[in-house]
């Protein structure tokens, strides 16, 4: 087996594993309503990463108990709901603590800003309210390469 073939196999396996983890995160199988909690804090970083439902929005939330890795929803859904996030914003989240790719994370059901504006992301059973993307890299209908993520440092 050549080095190039080995590299392609490793890349394919990593892509499939990452996609499966992100797909599981977006489904209700990870979300257990009985384990819902409410947390509050300040957004430190907002990033979007490619996933099975388009580009998924994530952020780091600074709480009184430490940092929390937050999985929000596809960026397209947030835009459709006319919602947005900024660093240094104070927010309150309802959701569940989960392990995604072996990392502690928080999957969100709803987000409320200080002004009272609320973004609902999941129904009472934990099923996402967005429709999964079916075309293009991010659901826009055009196949294009993923945008570079500039906050990975």
Residue 132 lies in a domain: no
φ and ψ at residue 67, rounded to 5 degrees: -80, 145
Residue 63 lies in a domain: yes
Residue 125 lies in a domain: no
Domain of 9, CATH number, reads: 2.40.50.140
> Has residue 1 got a pLDDT over 70?
no
Between CA 61 and CA 46 the distance in angstroms is 9
With H, G, I as helix, E, B as strand and everything else as coil, classify residue 142.
coil
Mean pLDDT across 1-20: 46
For residue 133, the surrounding DSSP H or E stretch is none
Residue 134 lies in a domain: no
* Dihedral angle, C-alpha 134, 27, 36, 74, nearest 10 °: -20
Half-sphere exposure of 73 (CA within 13 A, CB side): 27
Residue 87 structural domain: 3-120
Q: What is the DSSP letter of 101?
A: T
Mean pLDDT across 37-57: 87
Residue 151 lies in a domain: no
Residue 72 lies in a domain: yes
Bridge partners, 39 (sequence order): 93
The total of structural domains in the chain comes to 1
Least confident of 22-26, 29-33, 94-98: 22-26
CA 137 to centroid of chain Cα atoms: 16
Residue 48 lies in a domain: yes
In tens, the pLDDT along 49-84 reads 887 767 889 999 999 999 999 999 988 899 999 999
Q: Model's pTM, two decimal places? A: 0.68
Residue 98 lies in a domain: yes
Contact 129, 136 (CB under 8 A): no
């Amino acid at each position: 087996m050549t080095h190039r073939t080995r590299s392609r196999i490793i890349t394919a396996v990593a892509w499939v594993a990452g996609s499966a983890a992100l797909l599981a995160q977006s489904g209700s199988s990870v979300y257990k309503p009985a384990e819902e909690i409410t947390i509050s804090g300040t957004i430190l970083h907002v990033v979007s990463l490619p996933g099975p439902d388009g580009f998924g929005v994530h952020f780091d939330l600074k709480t009184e108990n430490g940092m929390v890795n937050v999985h929000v929803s596809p960026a397209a859904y947030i835009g459709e709901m006319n919602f947005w996030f900024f660093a240094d914003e104070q927010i309150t989240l309802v959701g569940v603590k989960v392990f995604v790719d072996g990392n502690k994370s928080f999957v969100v059901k709803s987000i409320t800003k200080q002004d009272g504006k609320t973004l609902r992301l999941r129904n009472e059973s934990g099923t996402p309210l967005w429709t999964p993307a079916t075309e293009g890299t991010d659901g826009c209908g055009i196949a294009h390469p993923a945008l570079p993520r500039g906050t990975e440092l």
